[in-house]
Amino acid sequence: MIERAWMVRTSRGSVAIRDSIYAALGGNQGGWLRQGWGWHDGLDLRLIKAKRERGEPLGTDEQDAWRNSPMLGKDAGRGNDAIMVGDLVLLPNIPVNGQFSICEVTGDYQYGEPLADHGDFRHMLPVKRLGFPVANSHAMVPDTLRTRLKARNRIVRLHEFHGNLMALSKLSAKDAGTASSGVERVLSIAQSELQDTATEFADKLRAVFNNSLQAAEWEKAIAVGLEPLLREAEVIHTGGPKERGADLELRFPNPFDSERGWVVLIQVKDYKDKVEVEKAEQLEQAFTSRQQDDNYTDQIVEVMMVVTNAKPSEAMKEKLVALSKDYHIPFTFVEGEALMRAMAQGYLHNLNLFGSSPTT
């Protein structure tokens, strides 16, 4: 029998969400691994799979949910490259940042009711939690696994660490939560507190900005928030009469051709309620105007609409899927919650919480 393990990244949102996800795991009597990107009935992975098999285009929400497809196990259409009964699953930052939980899959995928008070997390696998939460910096956690914990992918193979996870699952509660040194323990606690601070700050920042910023001011505010998170990228504010459909350009260095960067185009919208399909024209203009410009040598790798307080209409979702197929790059929609989480982290860096001198 092949010993297999996975990392499933669930949520690093509020403390309440993480507490609820951990509680849902139950104990050694069994519970549920709950995954997000499942907030309405149409995001059941089985329905999305059937839609794909019929050759129908997927909306943005469905594409996001389909990244959970390994949870379908043998029904995922991926052969053995999916989460099966008996596999181990590591959940990073559950129940707190700087720790992970380990569980064993005991049954097949289900699409259930939303997690209480959160309206999401309906993708479910029956599991049995093994042992106690383990500190990332525990002496028994290999450096290679600790590095893998930083991966941003939603689902990551950890088959080579199956034996390590089994050993870690047998530790006592006291031993499992013990960092390998006093310094690392302090850093782990500090990281957890800073993440919680960032989440709370994002909520406050959103409320204040909604009441005080005019539409065009959001562009600069977002640029300031993103810049410290993108150390290797140049954040270029292009908004204004010559924006050509994009308010910001994120330009990343190309290691193969220093003269030809990789660019993400961003159109910023301060909207409420729904964003209708007509607004997709600006995204298409942002891409095509640069592609047709002989003096523009950078390679565009993604086009985004970032919206402060609205969701895409169904027609808008379908249009983004069509544009992605037509131009062979992602055309995506980023909603306010994800935007504010990123901005909050950037502003905390700009406010020098790490001890550097104040910016002016």
Question: How crowded is residue 360: how many other Cβ atoms within 10 Å of its Cβ?
Answer: 3
Write the DSSP assignment of 251-304 as a string of letters.
EE--TT-TTS-EEEEEEEEEEEEEE-GGGHHHHHHHHHHHHT-TT--PEEEEEE
Strand partners, 104: 88, 128
Give CA separation, 38 vs 67, 115, 152, 319, in Å: 11, 10, 19, 21
Contacts of 334 (CB under 8 A, 6+ apart): 304, 305, 306, 307
Q: Do domains 5-180 and 214-350 have the same CATH topology?
A: no
Is this model's pTM higher than 0.85 or not?
Answer: no
Q: Classify 55 in phi/psi space as left (phi over 0), alpha (psi -120 to 50) or beta.
A: left
pLDDT in tens, the chain (360 residues): 679 999 999 976 677 888 899 999 997 789 999 999 999 999 999 999 999 999 999 988 899 899 999 999 999 988 889 999 999 999 999 998 889 999 999 999 999 999 887 889 999 999 999 999 999 989 899 989 998 898 878 999 999 999 999 999 999 988 887 665 555 555 555 655 566 666 677 778 878 888 888 767 887 888 788 777 666 778 888 766 556 778 889 888 887 877 788 999 999 888 888 899 999 999 999 999 999 988 888 999 999 999 988 899 999 999 999 999 999 999 999 888 878 877 887 777 766 554 443 333
Q: Are 324 and 304 in contact (CB under 8 A)?
A: no
Q: What are phi and psi of 161, to 5 degrees?
A: -105, 10
For residues 345 and 149, what is the distance between their CA atoms, to the nearest angstrom?
A: 19
Q: Which fold would CATH assign to domain 214-350?
A: Trna Endonuclease; Chain: A, domain 1 (3.40.1350)
Domain ranges of the chain: 5-180, 214-350
Q: Exposure string (b/e) for 16-28, b if CB count within 10 Å is 16 or more?
A: ebbebbbebbeee
- Residue 23 has which token pair? 């509680």
For residues 270 and 218, what is the distance between their CA atoms, to the nearest angstrom?
A: 7
Q: Which fold would CATH assign to domain 5-180?
A: ph1033 like fold (3.10.590)
Q: Are 261 and 252 in contact (CB under 8 A)?
A: yes
- Residue 215 has which token pair? 């539409």
Q: Exposure string (b/e) for 180-193, b if CB count within 10 Å is 16 or more?
A: eeeebbeebeeebe
Placement of tokens 């323990």 in the chain: 185
